[in-house]
Structure 1
Amino acid sequence: MSDRNTLIRSLHDIGLAAWFGGSLMGAVGLNGATDTIRDPERRNALGATGWARWAPVSAAAIGVHAIGGVGLTLANKGRLVGQRGVATTAIVKTALTGVAAASTAYSAWQGRVQAEAGLNPTDGAVNSGPDTPAAGATARQHLRIAQWITPITTAALIVLAAQQGEQQRAGQVVSGILGRARTALS
């Protein structure tokens, strides 16, 4: 059996990179660019079109990352049980992946609520006029915060993936296994 997991590690990392990069570019680039368009109809159309084009790529990135993550978990199940610290990192990473997926879905939903209310989903302004539907104004406030949760949590996932890579160094494996053994014997 091979001790390399190049394919599943690549799926994990490429999916995560696309998820992080796309969410950050959308929050900064797309949303910022649409704010410069004065005509509300053009601004709404551009924002809605940009996010609609990104949605299937984002879904694919999340799926590829998840497939890679499951593969890495299965490939490292012995280390999860036998090496101190590995299971904790995996649990934290799984929880953060859930937060990132939930924030991605929530942001998409809030964007749709704004679009249905005739508001620009990419508009960073929280102030709403007297003619702004209440649902749209609330969605705008929620989206302003939610759009940043995805890039923040996926950045944290990148850091945890790096930590997991470090945990696979020979010295870390040995000290983690010995540490687990000492804990079991005491």
Structure 2
Amino acid sequence: MRQIILASASPRRKELLKQLIGNNFLVHASSYREYPYPDLRPEELLTKHSIEKAREVAKHFDSGLVISADTSVLFNRELLGKPGTPEKAEKMLEMLSGQKFRVITALTVLDLNSGKETSELESTTVWMDKMSKEQISAYVRTGEPLDKAGAFAAQGKGAALVEKIEGDFFNIVGLPLFRLGKILQRAGVCIFEKDLS
């Protein structure tokens, strides 16, 4: 199997990729620093970040496929990234409480052998339950929302806050597996082989 490199230090993305292709990949976190680029639309900004992450990691390898992704919550045309602090997490959750919004991932697969670069967007619609201030504070105290885009983790305790979704659930976690599987198969990777190593 061709060498696959995940350009992310995210443990969630690592687990999702493992689910798709087993342990047959390397992890090399990108050192690319994200900038806001105010002239770009949200979808264009996520795509730029995803591409630049892949390109930065690609410099360290001679062959293989580099996979990168950038995920964010889009609400009222504003991207909500990771809150980082409890105060920001509470504000985000208050904003999203009882609302419908989208989780968007820009996915890039860079083929180092051919030089081909594929970037695609995946969008999942989320309906968030109406939450009381007490619920929000209690959830934030768990620490779970601090490093999650939009301040919630649908694969964790945050599942109790998500009323319903429309689209790829794995996209909310950070790696749209259906779309990634299609891209990898077009690149010649058979993800259904028993042993991909």
Structure 1 or 2: more helix by fraction: 1
Does the TM-score normalized on the shorter chain lie above 0.5? no
Q: Which has the higher strand share?
A: 2
Which is greater in Rg? 1
Task: Give TM-score, length-normalised by structure 2.
Answer: 0.26
By relative contact order (CA 8 Å, sep 6+), the higher-ranking structure is 1
TM superposition score normalised by structure 1: 0.27
